[in-house]
Structure 1
Amino acid sequence: MPNVTYIQPDGSRATLEVRSGQSVMDAALQAGVPGIVAECGGSCSCATCHVHVDEEWFVRLEPPTAIEVELLEFAADARPTSRLGCQIILAPELDGLTVHTPAAGNGR
């Protein structure tokens, strides 16, 4: 099972072992990771599961869909490495993925 590290704006970290096929958003919600709100429940219709992906990992992800790119335009503190956590599906090759929750929060 891949590990994902979530880093908060204050630098605190939570590393979770996540089953393959689960999204970064789902894993965060199940573990109570702060900063991941997921108002739409993972249907890719909001940006409240927005994360910043470490650059080394960003290039390894599948490219975002046009809908995801459009939603990220409305995300607080969006950056070039921003993605929606609901759209990052974990697989063994993503073991060690590191994401940061935005300083501005995701709707809370």
Structure 2
Amino acid sequence: MARVTYVQPDGSEQTFTNYEGLAVMHLAVANLVDGIDALCGGMRQCATCHVYVDPDWAERVGPPGPEEAEMLDALTDAIDVRPTSRLSCQIPIIEDLDGLRVFIPADQPGI
């Protein structure tokens, strides 16, 4: 079981708990978190689930995989990609990530 906190651009926070197996995006969609539209359903094709991983968690979450990094690189003109940018569909919720915090960008596609 792991908790994930979603921080909105205005600083408001929502924390949800779920058992392992879902991605950070799936937990957000299931709980109607604003700013996580997930239009492609987790296929790394739209970035409407883009988040910034809290810097304190970045090492534990790890860097994007090659296909995810390619998608983020392709979107640098459209969104504010940062060193902690990730597609939340590519972050599996595992016990080691209990307490994870992610920030939803103000320039999120679809917002």
What TM-score do you get using the length of structure 1 for normalisation? Answer: 0.94
Equivalent residue, structure 1, for 2:3: 3
More divergent stretch after superposition (72-81 vs 28-37): 72-81
Distance 1:38 1:77 in 2: 17
Give the residue type in structure 1 aligned to 2:105: P
Secondary structure class of the residue paired with 1:26: helix
The reply on whether 1:39 has 2:39 as its aligned counterpart is: yes
Equivalent residue, structure 1, for 2:16: 16
Aligned 8 A contact 1:77 1:103 in 2 = no
What TM-score do you get using the length of structure 2 for normalisation? Answer: 0.92
Equivalent residue, structure 2, for 1:100: 103
The reply on whether 1:78 has 2:95 as its aligned counterpart is: no
Tell me the alpha carbon deviations over residues 83-108 of structure 1, each in whole angstroms, 9 at most, x when there is no partner.
Answer: 00000001111000000000112323
Distance 2:59 2:85 in 1: 12
Deviation of the 1:62 alpha carbon:
3.5
Query: Alignment length, in residue pairs?
Result: 108
Distance 1:90 1:43 in 2: 17
Q: Which runs of 5+ in 1 are unaligned?
A: none
Fraction of identical pairs, as percent: 51
Distance 1:105 1:85 in 2: 12
Distance 2:85 2:18 in 1: 20
Distance 1:63 1:55 in 2: 12
Secondary structure class of the residue paired with 2:30: helix
Distance 2:56 2:70 in 1: 23
